[in-house]
């Protein structure tokens, strides 16, 4: 849209009237708004100790739960069998020690492709039947 002085003047007038309405409204509602803000801050002052109590309770519960879980896992390490299953799962999923995640293992395999079974790098077709 090209510049038009009449349209610009209309928008300027509209913005001016909106500002005047906001000022008038602010004068009429300032007292009740100040009371509301004060009441809200009083409420926040009263509720804060309760919020702190809930936070402390949840923190303590989480701490106890984690300590129990850590002890259980430590005991599980001492029993033959479960750690072997864990190591097997990690090896199968490519997350054992010294290896990356399964995604990194897959990307490494793709980088090495084509391999001996794929002799033609342009067509990626095997030269010998599978």
What's the rounded Cα separation, in Å, for the pair 129 and 112? 20
User: pLDDT at position 119, please?
Assistant: 55
Q: Are 9 and 3 within 8 A, CB to CB?
A: no
Instruction: Compute, in degrees rounded to 10, the torsion defined by CA atoms 54, 59, 61, 62.
Output: 140
pLDDT at 115 (0 to 100): 55
- Residues in contact with 127: Cβ distance below 8 Å, sequence separation at least 6, in sequence order: 118, 119, 120
> Phi, psi (5° rounding) for residue 127?
-90, -15
**Digitized pLDDT (tens) for each residue of the chain, 130 residues in all:** 567 888 999 999 999 999 999 999 999 999 999 999 999 999 999 999 999 999 999 999 999 999 999 998 888 888 777 777 777 777 777 644 555 566 667 777 676 665 555 555 555 555 555 4
Residues 6+ apart with CB under 8 A from 128: 117, 119
Best CA proximity match to 99, nearest among 58, 2, 89, 125:
89
Q: Is the pTM of this model over 0.75?
A: no
């Amino acid at each position: 849209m090209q510049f038009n002085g009449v349209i610009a003047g209309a928008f300027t007038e509209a913005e001016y009237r909106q500002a005047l309405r906001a000022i008038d409204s602010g004068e009429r509602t300032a007292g009740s708004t100040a009371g509301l803000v004060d009441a809200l801050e009083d409420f926040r002052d009263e509720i804060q100790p309760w919020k702190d109590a809930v936070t402390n309770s949840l923190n303590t519960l989480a701490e106890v739960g984690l300590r129990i879980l850590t002890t259980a896992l430590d005991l599980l390490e001492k029993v033959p069998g479960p750690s072997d299953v864990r190591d097997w799962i990690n090896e199968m999923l490519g997350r054992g020690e010294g290896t990356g995640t399964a995604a990194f293992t897959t990307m490494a395999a793709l980088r090495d492709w084509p391999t001996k079974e794929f002799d033609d790098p342009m067509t990626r077709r095997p030269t010998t039947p599978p």
